[in-house]
Amino acid sequence: MAKDRIDSFDRRILEILQLNGELGPSELSTRIHLSPSQCSRRLQRLREEGYIQRTAAILDPEKLNLGISAYVSVRLRSQSTEIVSAFRERVEALPEVVSCDYTTGEIDFMLKVHTRDLASYSEFVNAKLFDGDLIDNMRTFVIMQQLKRTTSLTLDYC
């Protein structure tokens, strides 16, 4: 099998692991009809080739008293290397930010943020995120209801 090529068994392994990352080679073998040793070798290769970056638990924000989820669009004061780098460093240090994407168009970054309530969100924005002179403009979109939540990626293109 050529490097960076996956077959239907690999796709099935990835599909199953996206739904339940706790499964090991034995459990996978019964679901995809390969031996545990073959599943183990395939898992190892998929990790080595970067298809599986890591395995993590998905936590419930409400159980953790994180009642506010929001998207925050950010436009920086300038696109200089120093400002972009300083903003990235700031975002990396903020535990409230669970994702940050560098985007095209009118905004530079789109963040997803979780905080306890509106008061803690306001404190987060004013004391942590908007601190300094990096940001030109920022808009908040509070999530009122989540319609779909998944970490599974489509495997239709590999």
Q: pLDDT truncated to tens, each residue of the chain (158 aa)?
A: 445 689 999 999 999 999 999 999 999 999 999 999 999 999 999 999 999 999 999 999 999 999 999 999 999 999 999 999 999 999 999 999 999 999 999 999 999 999 999 999 999 999 999 977 899 999 999 999 999 999 999 999 99
User: For residue 104, what pLDDT is reported?
Assistant: 95
User: For residue 2, what pLDDT is reported?
Assistant: 45
Which positions ≥6 away from 136 have C-beta within 8 Å?
A: 75, 76, 77
Which positions ≥6 away from 115 have C-beta within 8 Å?
A: 66, 67, 68, 70, 96, 121, 124
Q: Which two tokens stand for residue 152?
A: 């599974």
**How many Å apart are CA 143 and CA 49, to the nearest integer?**
36
**How many Å apart are CA 39 and CA 42, to the nearest integer?**
5
Q: Looking at 4-143, which runs of residues are DSSP E strands?
A: 68-76, 97-102, 109-115, 135-142
User: For residue 5, what pLDDT is reported?
Assistant: 81
**How many Å apart are CA 54 and CA 48, to the nearest integer?**
11
